[in-house]
Amino acid sequence: MADWLAALDRRAELRAKAGLTRTLRPRSAGDAVVDLAGNDYLGLSTHPDVTAAAVAAVRAYGLGATGSRLVRGSTDAHHALEDDLADWLGTDRALVFSSGYLANLGAVRALVQPRTLLVSDAHNHASLIDGCRISGAETVVTPHADVAAVRAALAAAPGRPAVVVTESVFSVDGDLAPLAELHAVTRGHGALLLVDDAHALGVTGPGGAGGVAAAGLAGEPDVIVTATLSKALGGAGGVVAGPAEFVRHLVETGRTFIFDTALPPAVAAGVRAAVGLARAGDDLRAELAERAGLAVRRLRAAGLTVSTPDAAVVSITAPGPETATTWAADCRDRGVAVGCFRPPSTPDSRSRLRLTLSAGVPRADFERALEVIVECAP
Instruction: Give the strand pairing for 238-242 and 34-36.
Output: unpaired
Q: Number of structural domains, the chain?
A: 2
Instruction: Give the N- to C-terminal CA distance of the chain in Å, as an integer.
Output: 45
| pTM of this structure | 0.95
Q: Are residues 108 and 147 in the same domain?
A: yes
87 as an active site residue: the answer is no
pLDDT for the residue 1: 61
Kindly give the confidence (pLDDT) of every residue in the chain, 378 residues in length, as a single tens digit, with 9 standing for 90 and above.
679 999 999 999 998 888 788 888 888 888 889 999 999 999 999 999 999 999 999 999 999 999 999 999 999 999 999 999 999 999 999 999 999 999 999 999 999 999 999 999 999 999 999 999 999 999 999 999 999 999 999 999 999 999 999 999 999 899 999 999 999 999 999 999 999 999 999 999 999 999 999 999 999 999 999 999 999 999 999 999 999 999 999 999 999 999 999 999 999 999 999 999 999 999 999 999 999 999 999 999 999 999 999 999 999 999 999 999 999 999 999 999 999 988 877 777 789 999 999 999 999 999 999 999 999 999
Residue 290: give the domain boundaries. 32-45+282-375
pLDDT for the residue 26: 87
Catalytic residue selected from 35, 39, 45, 197: 39
pLDDT for the residue 217: 98
Catalytic residue selected from 47, 78, 144, 199: 199
104 as an active site residue: the answer is no
> Do the domain assignments include residue 268?
yes
pLDDT for the residue 23: 86
189 as an active site residue: the answer is no
**Whole-angstrom distance, CA of residue 264 vs CA of residue 66:** 8
Catalytic residue selected from 171, 230, 307, 358: 171
pLDDT for the residue 21: 85
Q: Are residues 177 and 95 in the same domain?
A: yes
39 as an active site residue: the answer is yes
123 as an active site residue: the answer is no
- If we measure between CA atoms, which residue out of 49, 161, 60, 65 comes closest to residue 114? 161
pLDDT for the residue 20: 80
Q: Are residues 259 and 351 in the same domain?
A: no
How are strands ordered across the β-sheet holding 192-196? 93-97, 238-242, 223-228, 192-196, 162-167, 117-121, 138-142
Q: How many CB atoms lie within 10 A of CB 162?
A: 25
Catalytic residue selected from 47, 78, 144, 231: 231
> Last residue of a domain, which of 222, 244, 279?
279
> Do the domain assignments include residue 342?
yes
The pair phi, psi for residue 94, each rounded to 5°, is -135, 145
pLDDT for the residue 366: 98
Residue 120 belongs to a domain with what CATH number?
Answer: 3.40.640.10
**Whole-angstrom distance, CA of residue 313 vs CA of residue 37:** 10
Instruction: Name the DSSP class of 265.
Output: H
